[in-house]
A and B are shown apart, each in its own frame.
Chain A
Amino acid sequence: MNSQTNPVSTLVWTFGLMSLFAVGGANSAIPEMHRVAVDVHHWMDDKQFADIFAISQLSPGPNVLIVTLIGYAVGGVVGALAATLAMCGPTAVLAYYVSRLLQRSSHSPWPAIIQAALVPLSIGLMGASGLILALTSDRNWVAAMITVAAAVLAFATRLNPVWMLLAGGALGFAGIIG
């Protein structure tokens, strides 16, 4: 874990391990990514982390691509590729074998029990992601209001989320957030 080692191998090790603990997907792992990238390895500061989250939400594809952006910041194109494969690979192999296993014994009660037990944990993790990102993004009350407005709109309406992201960008460009 020391910073003397090759940063790309640190990326592979970090995200490969994280992949197996990311219950509920990439958005649940954001607090851990923030802890590793900002607090432990000092790859970036809070502001850059918030920017990277914004870019990952603006770009198409699965949410997991936030690790591509972190990887690029650490080790360029090689870092981006290494981080992405490390985050996706171990769990993909696991998924492959578990799905084959379950095809043979589809009447086991365990899938339902495991799911019922893990879903609350993944929601808690995502809530923590929301909190940590809000603390890094919302520097003043205007910014916090934008977050609250987007949350309420996304919760209560079926509006395409892209419009809220663009509206946030426009408000930011107008200099309201400061």
Chain B
Amino acid sequence: MASESPPAAAPAPDISPATPPIQPGLFELFVAFAKMSLAGFGGVLVWARRGIVDQHRWMTAEEFNETFALCHFLPGPNIVNLSVVFGSRFRGIAGGIAAFAGLVGPPMVIATILAALYARYGEIDALRRILAGVSCAAVGLLIAVVFKMMMPLIKKRDVVGLVMLVAVFIAIGLARLPLQAVLLVAIPVSLGITYIMRRRVKA
């Protein structure tokens, strides 16, 4: 793989001819993503941006935003998608795998150890009390993220978006319908309405 020319990695030359993009190697990709991942408590995105854009200068902030936007609308864990897309831009499939392994491998080992400890000691009363407290706070953090993400929709007065949001919340959170069934209806409806609204704005 090393002898292969990097697949369309360089940004279009008219954007920033001043700084040639630095090409990370496979091992560098693995280490960089392992570091970001292990630093990231409650979300790796902030650290990924810091590592990729500020520290290594592998991408400009704009390129990073574009790549992340792509990974956000794809299903699945966003940051995992980002690692694969990012790694493969520089080093093809091997690069994608190296970045993915760095992101998921080391923390997965830690999570497995914690899971084993929990399986063995989870019944201890003090530990149960601590975890109960942590989970109360962790739920609060998640709810805060939800409200932070809702703010742009509210500011834009995106009525359609807010209605879809509430509908999905009710279907999954209150009615407890299966995810697949809800999304098989919600995704086409939301796409259709968004598409029609945009065409109307243009017309």
**Chain A residues within CB distance 8 Å of chain B:** 17-27, 29, 31-32, 35, 39, 48, 50-65, 68-69, 72-73, 77, 80-81, 84, 87-88, 90-92, 94-96, 98-100, 102-103, 109, 111, 113-121, 123-134, 136-139, 143-144, 146-155, 160-162, 164-173, 175-177
Contacts and interface: CB of A to CB of B under 8 A. Distances in A.
Nearest to B167: A124
Contacts of B31: none
Interface string B175-191: 01011100100110011
A113 B199 CA distance: 11
B143 A99 contact: no
A65 B103 CA distance: 11
B200 interface: no
A143 B136 contact: yes
Name the prevailing secondary structure of the A interface residues. Answer: helix
Contacts of A92: 76, 80-81, 84, 96, 100
B161 interface: yes
A47 B75 CA distance: 28
Contacts of A171: 133
A117 B194 contact: yes
Nearest to A51: B131
B133 A177 contact: yes
24 contacts: A23-B187, A25-B77, A31-B176, A35-B179, A54-B134, A57-B138, A61-B103, A91-B80, A92-B80, A95-B81, A96-B85, A114-B73, A118-B190, A124-B168, A124-B172, A125-B169, A127-B165, A130-B142, A149-B140, A150-B144, A169-B133, A170-B133, A173-B126, A177-B132
Nearest to B180: A21
B134 A56 contact: no
Contacts of A148: 140
Given A60-B41, A92-B76, A133-B142, A168 B119 contact: no
Interface centre among A62, A77, A102 (most CB of B within 10 A): A62
B76 A90 contact: yes
Nearest to B40: A60
A141 B147 CA distance: 22
Contact of B142 (A32, A68, A129): A129
A53 B141 CA distance: 12
